[in-house]
Amino acid sequence: MSMTSPAITFDRLAYIDRLREAGFDDKQARAQADALDAALRDSVATKADLREAELRLETKIETTAANLRADIARWLFAAVVAIGGLVLAAIKFVK
């Protein structure tokens, strides 16, 4: 993921205060806050992350569509040549 502004805000100090009020000591409260802060930063996709993924997918789709068009054109050309050959063979056979 890219390093952009976080998708959600996390008030570490308020979280630490709540943990202290619930009976956690300072060291435990800070460790919990650090772990939660890291998890939020590492696992939440931002709008920029989503846009980057969207652009990559659009590029892949466009490339795949171009490849499919090229494949269809090749098959169509081969079919026309084959049909032309069959028509010529049929004409020679009929004569």
User: For each successive 10 residues of the chain (95 residues), what is the average pLDDT?
Assistant: 57 93 95 90 83 97 98 98 95 87
pLDDT reported for residue 43: 75
Q: Same domain, yes or no, for 37 and 14?
A: yes
Bin 45: left if φ > 0, else alpha if -120 < ψ < 50, else beta: beta
Residue 46 is predicted with a pLDDT of: 82
Sign of torsion over alpha carbons 57, 61, 62, 66: positive
Quick one: pLDDT at residue 2?
46
Are 61 and 80 part of one and the same domain?
yes
Q: Please give the pLDDT value at position 7.
A: 53
**Residue from 94, 80, 5 nearest 47 by CA:** 5
Backbone angles phi, psi at 6, to 5 degrees: -60, 145
59 and 76 housed in the same domain: yes
Which residues form the domain of 84? Answer: 47-95
Number of structural domains (the chain) is 2
> Are both 3 and 40 inside the same structural domain?
yes
Measured in residues, the chain has a length of 95
**Whether residue 12 sits in one domain with residue 52:** no
- Interior CA angle at 49 toward 46 and 4, to 5°? 60
Cβ neighbours, 10 Å, residue 17: 13
pTM of this structure: 0.51
